C-alpha cells in the first residue's frame, strides 16, 4: 500500500517539476548555501565534518606531543597559544581543553553529523528511489542547527577562560562548578548550548530519515529489498531519536545547576575553601542520563559505517552480501541491546553489584550479533572476485578493526576485569579502534565509493592507496600497544607520568605513538587535499555505473540534478545483491525477474 | 628550527607523492585503465597478505617487548581473581582474534580478482548462521559465568574482622581517617569543614565516636598485610577515583555518596621491593577519574606492613579531636611538664 502511495506522490511531484522547468533557475544562495537538495545538504555535512576532523585531529597531535615528550618545550606552541602553552609547555588546563574538544568534536560533529548526516542524506533518497527527503526544509534546518552548534563550539575555543575541559563526558560536579576548573566557567555553558543545538539538528535529521525510509520508497522497493546501507541509516536514526532527548534533558539540568542554583547533580560540596549550599542531588544521576545516550551513540556512529561496509564488500567481491536477513536481525538486536547496557560505563561508581551483574550479562550479549556480522562479512568475501578499490580496502580494514576492538570490549564488559581496566588507557585503545578508527574507515570507504556520485569525478587512487595503508598500519601501531599501558593500570587523561612509580615505564612507547600519530595525521591532510583537488580536477566519470553496482543511485545521470531522476523514478524488481547470479556479473534492482532465472533468495518470487 | 625542518620535509614528501600520484593517473589513461587496475589489484592483494604476516609478527614482538612492563603479580586476593579473569578472557579472545583476522586477510588475498574465476553466488545459509550464533553464545556464557562468580566475591560484604579506613578525595589530594580504638568512624557533615580550625573532614565533635579518630594526609596510608581492609570512600568537591593498580582495585569517590570497597593486601611493601628489585617501590593510589587541573598528580602512597609495625605507627598518631580542641588535650594543658614529656620520649 505504502509504496504504491509513495509512487503516485512522486509521480505528481515529477509532473510538477516538469511544469516548473522553464523558470527553475536557482540562485547561488539557494543552490549551495540554503539548499534543500538532499545531496547538497549531505555535502555540507561532509565538508563541515571534515573541517572539524582537521581541528580535532590537530588537537590530538598537540596533546600527543605532550604525552610523547613531557619534558621538552616547544616554543612554537607559545607563539600560537600564549598563556595556554607558557614557556612552550602545554598547561594542564589547556591539555584538558584539548582532549575535551577533541573527543566532543570527533564523536558528535565528525562521526555523527559528518558520517550519518552525510550519508543518510546522500544515500537514502538515492537508494530508495525518492526525489528528496520527506521534508527538505527540515532537512535544511537540520544542517543549519548543526552549523550553529559548530559556531558556538568554535567560539568557545577563543574565550579567555578556554573551552570546556572536563572530558567529553562532562561529568558534574566538575563541569557544574566554575570554581572547579577554568574550563567549567563560560566554556562549559557554551559546550552545553552547542550540544543542545546539535541535538536539535540530529533529531530533525533523524525524524526526516525515518519518515523518508518509511514513506517515500519507490514502487517495488519493499523494506526487505532495501540496501543494507539504508537499513543501517534507518536504525541509526531510530537510535538517535530515542536517545538524544535523554542527553538533552541531562544537559539542560546541568545548565540549571550551573546557572539557576538548582541541585540536580550537586550534594554536600566543599570546594576551594567554600561550602556550597546545594544538597540532595546526585552526581551519578548525570552519568546515567549521559550514558543512556552515550552507549547508543557509539552505535549511532558505528551502524552507518557497518551499512556502507556491507554494501561495499558485496559490490567489490562481486557477490551478494551473505545472510541479508541475519545482518538485519543482528542490527536490530544491536539496537535493542544498545539501550540496555549503558551502566557498563559505571561499574565502579558504587553501582549496586547485582545491577552490575545484569549489565554484564546484557553487555556481553551484544558480542553475539557483532560476531554474526563479522562472520557474515567474512563469508561475503569468501570465494568472491575481489576488486581492491580504495573503498574496498577501507571496508576490509573496517572489519579488521571492528574485530580487534570488539574483542577488547569483551574484557571491559566483564565487570570483574573492568574494575582494573576502567578509566585506563585500555579503554582509550578499545574505543578508538572499535569506534574511532573503524567508523572513520567506514566513512572513508563511503567517500571513496560515492565520490563519483557526489562530484562526477574520481579521487586519485594512488593517493588513496597510500592513505589506506599508512592509516591502517598507523592505527594499529598507535592503539595496539596502548592496551599494554592500560593493562599496567595507567590511567587515561594523565598528561605526565614521570612522577609515578607504577606508570613511568612506557616513555619510549609514548614517543613512538606520538611520532606515528603525526605521520598518520599528515596522511589525513593528504586525503583532504585529494578530496578537494579531485572535486575540481579529478578524472571525470564516464560510466554512470562505475563500480557495476545494483543499487538505484547508479541509475541516475552522472551528475544528478535536484530531483535525482530526469524522467520517471525507476521501479524496483529485486533485492540489491544479485551479483554473480546465473553467471551474470550483476543484475540491477531495476531489472525485472525473468522467468528463467534461478530462485535463490527469498525476497525473489518465492522462497527456495 | 627543528619544527620547521620537519614541516618542510613533510611538505616536500607530500609534493613528491602528489606528483607521482598524478603521473600514475596519466599513465593509467595511456596504458588502458583496465590494465592498470588489474596491476594495482595484484599489488594490494599482496599487501593484504604481507600485512597479515607482518601484523602477526608484530603482535608477537609487541608482546615480547611490553609484557614485562605490566605490573606482574597482583598484591591482593581480589587481584588474583581479576588476573585470572583476564587470562581466561585472553585465551578465548585470542583464539577468535587469530582465526578471524587470518581468514579476513587470507580471503582478501586468495580471492583477488582473476579472469579465471567467477564469484560464487552464495546469499545465505541458515545452518551457518545458527552455528555462529551458538558458538559465541557458549563462549560468552563461560565468560559471564566466571565473571559474575568473581564479581560477587569481590563486591560481596567485607569480612567482619576487616579493618576500616576512610579515604577522602579532593582537588588534588587524598585524606585518610582511621576509626581509632572504638572501630567506629565518627559522624561528619560537610558544612563543618573548616581547615583553619583543624577540621578538614567536617567531623562532628559532639559525636564521641570522633574523639579517637585519627586523621592523616600528606603521608603514607598504612595497611596491614593479610588483613582485609574496607575502604569507605568519598569526595569533597568533584568525582575522584581511588585506583590501586597493584591490588587491582578501583572505586569512584563521589561527593555526597559514600562508596565502599574491600580487599586483602597479601604482600608487604618490603616484600614487593624485593620481588620487583626496585628499592623505591611504593604502592600508589592514582586518581582515575578526571577531576581538573591537578588530576595527573593526585597521588597517594601506601605502606603495607605487619600488624606490629602498624600498631606502633598508629600509636604515634594523635586523634584529630585533640588537634581541633587543644583544651581537651592532656599533653598540651600541662605546660610546665613539657620538658619532662620530651625527656620521657627520649629515654624510651
Ligand atoms: C563487544 C562489544 C562491546 C563491548 C562488550 C563493549 C564494552 C565496553 C565497556 C564495558 C566500556 C566501558 C569501559 C570503561 O569505561 O571502563 C566501553 C567503553 C567504550 N566503548 Fe565499548 N564495547 C563494545 C563495543 C563497542 C563498540 C562497537 C563501540 C563503538 C562503536 C564502543 C565504543 C565505546 C566507547 C566510545 C567507550 C568509552 C567511552 C568513554 O569512557 O569515554 N564499544 N565499552
Ligand atoms: Cu557502552
Ligand atoms: Cu582525578
Spacing, Cα A410 to ligand 1 middle (Å) = 9
Identify the three-state secondary structure at position B115.
Answer: coil
Alpha carbon distance B233, B253 (integer Å) = 5
Write out residues 421-460 of A within 8 Å (CB-CB) of B.
Answer: 422-424, 460
Alpha carbon distance A378, A249 (integer Å) = 41
Q: Which atom of ligand 1 is nearest to the CA of A103?
A: 41
Query: Would the CB atoms of A600 and B121 count as touching at under 8 Å?
Result: yes
Spacing, Cα A440 to ligand 1 middle (Å) = 16
Q: Which residues of A touch B295 (CB under 8 A)?
A: 92, 96, 493-494
Q: What is the rounded average pLDDT of the residues A366-386?
A: 95
pLDDT band at A600 (very low <50, low <70, confident <90, very high): low
**Do A380 and A321 meet the contact criterion of CB atoms below 8 Å apart?**
yes
Out of A415, A493, A525, closest to residue B290 by CB:
A493
pLDDT in tens, B70-83: 878 899 999 999 99
Query: Would the CB atoms of A372 and B148 count as touching at under 8 Å?
Result: no
Q: What is the rounded average pLDDT of the residues A182-203?
A: 95
Q: Is A56 on the interface with B (CB under 8 A)?
A: no
Q: What is the rounded average pLDDT of the residues A388-399?
A: 96
User: What's the count of helices (H) and strands (E) in chain B, helices before strands?
Assistant: 9, 10
Choosing among B117, B255, B262, which should be mutated to test the A contact, i.e. which has the most A CBs within 10 A?
B255
pLDDT in tens, A93-110: 999 999 999 999 999 999
Decide which of B327 and A414 is more confident. A414
Closest CA relative to residue A356, chosen from A336, A335, A370, A342? A342
The pLDDT value recorded for residue A562 is: 86
Q: What is the rounded average pLDDT of the residues A69-96?
A: 88
**Do A426 and A480 meet the contact criterion of CB atoms below 8 Å apart?**
no
Average pLDDT, chain A: 91
- Atom 23, ligand 1: which residue's CA is nearest? A409
- As a whole-number percent, the residues of chain B with pLDDT over 70 amount to 95
- Per the structure, the count of domains in chain A is 1
To the nearest 10 degrees (0 to 180), the angle between helices A390-413 and B77-110 is: 160
Query: Would the CB atoms of B140 and A365 count as touching at under 8 Å?
Result: yes
Q: What is the rounded average pLDDT of the residues A517-527?
A: 94
pLDDT in tens, A227-237: 999 999 999 99
Q: Which of A31-40, B110-119, B124-133 has the lowest mean pLDDT?
A: A31-40
pLDDT of residue A49 exceeding 90, the answer is yes
pLDDT in tens, B1-16: 677 787 888 788 888 8
pLDDT of residue A605 exceeding 60, the answer is no
- Ligand closest to CA A430: 1
pLDDT of residue A140 exceeding 90, the answer is yes
pLDDT in tens, B242-254: 999 999 999 999 9
Alpha carbon distance A113, A53 (integer Å) = 11
pLDDT of residue A566 exceeding 80, the answer is yes
pLDDT of residue A7 exceeding 70, the answer is no
To the nearest 10 degrees (0 to 180), the angle between helices A283-317 and A367-381 is: 20
CB of A298 closer than 6 angstroms to any ligand 1 atom? yes
Look at the alpha carbons of A171, A177, A178, A180 in this order and tell me if their dihedral is positive or negative: negative
**Do A575 and A569 meet the contact criterion of CB atoms below 8 Å apart?**
no
Q: What is the rounded average pLDDT of the residues A459-479?
A: 95
Closest CA relative to residue B264, chosen from B247, B252, B276? B247
Q: Can you give the CATH number for the domain in which A313 is found? A: 1.20.210.10
Q: Which of A5-19, A124-138, B222-236, B299-313 has the lowest mean pLDDT?
A: A5-19
Look at the alpha carbons of A328, A372, A312, A300 in this order and tell me if their dihedral is positive or negative: positive
pLDDT band at A4 (very low <50, low <70, confident <90, very high): very low
| Cβ-based contacts under 8 A for chains A and B | 371
CB of A410 closer than 6 angstroms to any ligand 1 atom? yes
Q: What is the pTM of this model?
A: 0.93
pLDDT of residue A21 exceeding 50, the answer is no
Q: What is the rounded average pLDDT of the residues B229-240?
A: 95
Q: Which domain holds residue A533?
A: 38-586
Partners of B299 in beta bridges: B286
* Cell numbers found for residue A357: 551483574
Q: Specify if A126 maps to a domain.
A: yes
- As a whole-number percent, the residues of chain A with pLDDT over 70 amount to 94
Write out residues 464-493 of A within 8 Å (CB-CB) of B.
Answer: 465-466, 469, 472-473, 476, 480-481, 484, 487-489, 491, 493
Look at the alpha carbons of A445, A447, A453, A456 in this order and tell me if their dihedral is positive or negative: negative
The pLDDT value recorded for residue A17 is: 44
Alpha carbon distance B123, A574 (integer Å) = 14
> In this structure, how many other beta carbons lie within 10 angstroms of the beta carbon of residue A244?
23
pLDDT of residue A13 exceeding 50, the answer is no
Spacing, Cα A2 to ligand 2 middle (Å) = 36
pLDDT in tens, A290-307: 999 999 999 999 999 999
Nearest CA in chain B to A401: B101
- Ligand closest to CA A437: 1
Q: What are phi and psi of A605, to 5 degrees?
A: -45, -60
- Atom 12, ligand 1: which residue's CA is nearest? A345
The pLDDT value recorded for residue A201 is: 96
DSSP 8-state secondary structure symbol assigned to residue A82: G
Write down all domains in chain B, each with its CATH number in brackets: 35-112+126-155 (no CATH), 163-327 (2.60.40.420)
* Cell numbers found for residue A516: 606515528
* Cell numbers found for residue A581: 547470479
Query: Would the CB atoms of A460 and B21 count as touching at under 8 Å?
Result: yes
Choosing among A103, A331, A361, A419, which should be mutated to test the B contact, i.e. which has the most B CBs within 10 A?
A419
pLDDT of residue A387 exceeding 80, the answer is yes
pLDDT in tens, A417-457: 999 999 999 999 999 999 999 999 999 999 999 999 999 99
| A569-589 as b/e: b if 16+ CB within 10 A | bbebbbbbbbbbbeeeebbbb
pLDDT in tens, A157-190: 999 999 999 999 999 999 999 999 999 999 999 9
Query: Would the CB atoms of A422 and B124 count as touching at under 8 Å?
Result: no
The pLDDT value recorded for residue B111 is: 94
Quickly list H helices, A85-185: 92-104, 118-128, 136-157
- As a whole-number percent, the residues of chain B with pLDDT over 90 amount to 70
Q: Specify if A112 maps to a domain.
A: yes
The distance in angstroms from the start CA to the end CA of chain A is 26
Closest CA relative to residue A135, chosen from A119, A150, A124? A124
Per-position DSSP letters for B166-182, written without gaps between them: EEEEETTEEEEEE-TTT
Query: Would the CB atoms of A319 and B119 count as touching at under 8 Å?
Result: yes
Quickly list H helices, A274-414: 283-317, 324-338, 353-365, 367-381, 390-413
Q: Is A579 on the interface with B (CB under 8 A)?
A: yes
pLDDT of residue A524 exceeding 70, the answer is yes
**Do A126 and A564 meet the contact criterion of CB atoms below 8 Å apart?**
yes
Identify the three-state secondary structure at position A598.
Answer: coil
Alpha carbon distance A111, B247 (integer Å) = 37
The pLDDT value recorded for residue B344 is: 45
Alpha carbon distance A509, A412 (integer Å) = 23
> In this structure, how many other beta carbons lie within 10 angstroms of the beta carbon of residue B308?
9
Radius of gyration of chain B (CA): 31
Q: How far is B171 from chain A (nearest CA, A)?
A: 8
pLDDT in tens, B62-108: 999 999 888 788 999 999 999 999 999 999 999 999 999 999 999 99
Q: Which atom of ligand 1 is nearest to the CA of A428?
A: 37
- Atom 37, ligand 1: which residue's CA is nearest? A431
Query: Would the CB atoms of A383 and B120 count as touching at under 8 Å?
Result: yes
**Do A95 and A495 meet the contact criterion of CB atoms below 8 Å apart?**
yes
* Cell numbers found for residue A552: 538505484
Alpha carbon distance A191, A163 (integer Å) = 7
The pLDDT value recorded for residue B37 is: 85
Q: Which residues of B touch A374 (CB under 8 A)?
A: 100
Closest CA relative to residue B149, chosen from B90, B78, B72, B92? B78
Q: Which residues of A touch B133 (CB under 8 A)?
A: 368, 371-372
Look at the alpha carbons of A145, A151, A153, A159 in this order and tell me if their dihedral is positive or negative: negative
How large is the ipTM?
A: 0.92
The pLDDT value recorded for residue A601 is: 57
- Ligand closest to CA A302: 1
Query: Would the CB atoms of B238 and A271 count as touching at under 8 Å?
Result: yes
Q: Which of A66-75, A276-285, A468-477, B215-224 has the lowest mean pLDDT?
A: A66-75
Amino acid at each position: 500500500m505504502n509504496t504504491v502511495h509513495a509512487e503516485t506522490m512522486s509521480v505528481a511531484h515529477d509532473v510538477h517539476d516538469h511544469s516548473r522547468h522553464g523558470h527553475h533557475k536557482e540562485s547561488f544562495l539557494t543552490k549551495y548555501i540554503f539548499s534543500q537538495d538532499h545531496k547538497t545538504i549531505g555535502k555540507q555535512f561532509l565538508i563541515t565534518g571534515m573541517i572539524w576532523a582537521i581541528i580535532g585531529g590537530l588537537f590530538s597531535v598537540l596533546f600527543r606531543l605532550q604525552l610523547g615528550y613531557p619534558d621538552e618545550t616547544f616554543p612554537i606552541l607559545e607563539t600560537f597559544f600564549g598563556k595556554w602553552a607558557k614557556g612552550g609547555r602545554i598547561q594542564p588546563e589547556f591539555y584538558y581543553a584539548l582532549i575535551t574538544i577533541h573527543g566532543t568534536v570527533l564523536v558528535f560533529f565528525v562521526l555523527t553529523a559528518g558520517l550519518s548526516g552525510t550519508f543518510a542524506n546522500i544515500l537514502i533518497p538515492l537508494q530508495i528511489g525518492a526525489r528528496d527527503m520527506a521534508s527538505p526544509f527540515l532537512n535544511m534546518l537540520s544542517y543549519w542547527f548543526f552549523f550553529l552548534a559548530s559556531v558556538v563550539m568554535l567560539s568557545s575555543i577563543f574565550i579567555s577562560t578556554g573551552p570546556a575541559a572536563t572530558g567529553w563526558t562532562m561529568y558534574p560536579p566538575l563541569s557544574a562548578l566554575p570554581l572547579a576548573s577554568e574550563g567549567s566557567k563560560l566554556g562549559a555553558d557554551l559546550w552545553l548550548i552547542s550540544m543542545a543545538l546539535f541535538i536539535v539538528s540530529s533529531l530533525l535529521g533523524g525524524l526526516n530519515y525515518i519518515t523518508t525510509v518509511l514513506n517515500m520508497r519507490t514502487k517495488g522497493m519493499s523494506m526487505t529489498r532495501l540496501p543494507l546501507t539504508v537499513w543501517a541509516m534507518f536504525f541509526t536514526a531510530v537510535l538517535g531519536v530515542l536517545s538524544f532527548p535523554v542527553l538533552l534533558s541531562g544537559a539542560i539540568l546541568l545548565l540549571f545547576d550551573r546557572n539557576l542554583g538548582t541541585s540536580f547533580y550537586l550534594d554536600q560540596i566543599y570546594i576551594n575553601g567554600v561550602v556550597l549550599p546545594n544538597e540532595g542531588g546526585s552526581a551519578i544521576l548525570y552519568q546515567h542520563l549521559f550514558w543512556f545516550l552515550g552507549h547508543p551513540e557509539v552505535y549511532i556512529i558505528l551502524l552507518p559505517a557497518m551499512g556502507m561496509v556491507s554494501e561495499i564488500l558485496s559490490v567489490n567481491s562481486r557477490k551478494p552480501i551473505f545472510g541479508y536477513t541475519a545482518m538485519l536481525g543482528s542490527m536490530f538486536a544491536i539496537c535493542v541491546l544498545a539501550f540496555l547496557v549503558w551502566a557498563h560505563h559505571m561499574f565502579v561508581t558504587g553501582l549496586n553489584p547485582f545491577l552490575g551483574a545484569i549489565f554484564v550479562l546484557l553487555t556481553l550479549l551484544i558480542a553475539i550479533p557483532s560476531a554474526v556480522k563479522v562472520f557474515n562479512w567474512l563469508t561475503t568475501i569468501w570465494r568472491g572476485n575481489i576488486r581492491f578499490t580504495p573503498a574496498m580496502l577501507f571496508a576490509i580494514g573496517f572489519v579488521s578493526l571492528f574485530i580487534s576492538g570488539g574483542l577488547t570490549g569483551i574484557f571491559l564488559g566483564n565487570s570483574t576485569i573492568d574494575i582494573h581496566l576502567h578509566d585506563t588507557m585500555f579503554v582509550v585503545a578499545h574505543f578508538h579502534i572499535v569506534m574511532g578508527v573503524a567508523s572513520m574507515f567506514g566513512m572513508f570507504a563511503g567517500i571513496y565509493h560515492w565520490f563519483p556520485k557526489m562530484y562526477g569525478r574520481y579521487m586519485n587512487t594512488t593517493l588513496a592507496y597510500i592513505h589506506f595503508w599508512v592509516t591502517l598500519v598507523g592505527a594499529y601501531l598507535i592503539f595496539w600497544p596502548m592496551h599494554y599501558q592500560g593493562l599496567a593500570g595507567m590511567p587515561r587523561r594523565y598528561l605526565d607520568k614521570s612522577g609515578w612509580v607504577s606508570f613511568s615505564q612506557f616513555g619510549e612507547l609514548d614517543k613512538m605513538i606520538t611520532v606515528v600519530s603525526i605521520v598518520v595525521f599528515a596522511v589525513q591532510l593528504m586525503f583532504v587535499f585529494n578530496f578537494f583537488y579531485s572535486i575540481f580536477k579529478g578524472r571525470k566519470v564516464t560510466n554512470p555505473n562505475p563500480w557495476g553496482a545494483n543499487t538505484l543511485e547508479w541509475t541516475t545521470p552522472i551528475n544528478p540534478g535536484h530531483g535525482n531522476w530526469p524522467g520517471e523514478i525507476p521501479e524496483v524488481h529485486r533485492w540489491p545483491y544479485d551479483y554473480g547470479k546465473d553467471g551474470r556479473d550483476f543484475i540491477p534492482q531495476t531489472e525485472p525477474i525473468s522467468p528463467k532465472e534461478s530462485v535463490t533468495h527469498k525476497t525473489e518470487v518465492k522462497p527456495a | 628550527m627543528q619544527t620547521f625542518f620537519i614541516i618542510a620535509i613533510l611538505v616536500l614528501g607530500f609534493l613528491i607523492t602528489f606528483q607521482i600520484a598524478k603521473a600514475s593517473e596519466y599513465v593509467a589513461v595511456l596504458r588502458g585503465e583496465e590494465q592498470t587496475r588489474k596491476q594495482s589489484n595484484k599489488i594490494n592483494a599482496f599487501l593484504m597478505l604481507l600485512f597479515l604476516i607482518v601484523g602477526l609478527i608484530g603482535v608477537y614482538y609487541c608482546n615480547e617487548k611490553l609484557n614485562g612492563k605490566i605490573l606482574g603479580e597482583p598484591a591482593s586476593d581480589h587481584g588474583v581473581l581479576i588476573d585470572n579473569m583476564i587470562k581466561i578472557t585472553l585465551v578465548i579472545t585470542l583464539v577468535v582474534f587469530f582465526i578471524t583476522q587470518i581468514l579476513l586477510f587470507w580471503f582478501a588475498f586468495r580471492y583477488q580478482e582473476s579472469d579465471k574465476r567467477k564469484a560464487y553466488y552464495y546469499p545465505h545459509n541458515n545452518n551457518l548462521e545458527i552455528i555462529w550464533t551458538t558458538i559465541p553464545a557458549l563462549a560468552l556464557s563461560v565468560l559471564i559465568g566466571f565473571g559474575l562468580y568473581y564479581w560477587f566475591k569481590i563486591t560481596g560484604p567485607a569480612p567482619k574482622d576487616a579493618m576500616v579506613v576512610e579515604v577522602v578525595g579532593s582537588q588534588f589530594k587524598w585524606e585518610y581517617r582511621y576509626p581509632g580504638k572504638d572501630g567506629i568512624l565518627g559522624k561528619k557533615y560537610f558544612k563543618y569543614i573548616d581547615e583553619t580550625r583543624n577540621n578538614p573532614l567536617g567531623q562532628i565533635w559532639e559525636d564521641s565516636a570522633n574523639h579517637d579518630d585519627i586523621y592523616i594526609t600528606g603521608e603514607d596510608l598504612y595497611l596491614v598485610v593479610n588483613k582485609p581492609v574496607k575502604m569507605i570512600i568519598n569526595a569533597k568537591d568533584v568525582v575522584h577515583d581511588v585506583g590501586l593498580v597493584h591490588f587491582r582495585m578501583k572505586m569512584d569517590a563521589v561527593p555526597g555518596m559514600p562508596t565502599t570497597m574491600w580487599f586483602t593486601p597479601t604482600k608487604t611493601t618490603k616484600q614487593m621491593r624485593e620481588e620487583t628489585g626496585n628499592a623505591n617501590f611504593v604502592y600508589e593510589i592514582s586518581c582515575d577519574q578526571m577531576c581538573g587541573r591537578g588530576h595527573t598528580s593526585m597521588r597517594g602512597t601506601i605502606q603495607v606492613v605487619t600488624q606490629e609495625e602498624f600498631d606502633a605507627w598508629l600509636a604515634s598518631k594523635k586523634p584529630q579531636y585533640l588537634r581541633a580542641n587543644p583544651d581537651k588535650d592532656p599533653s598540651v594543658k600541662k605546660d610546665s611538664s613539657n620538658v619532662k614529656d620530651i625527656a620521657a620520649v627520649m629515654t624510651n
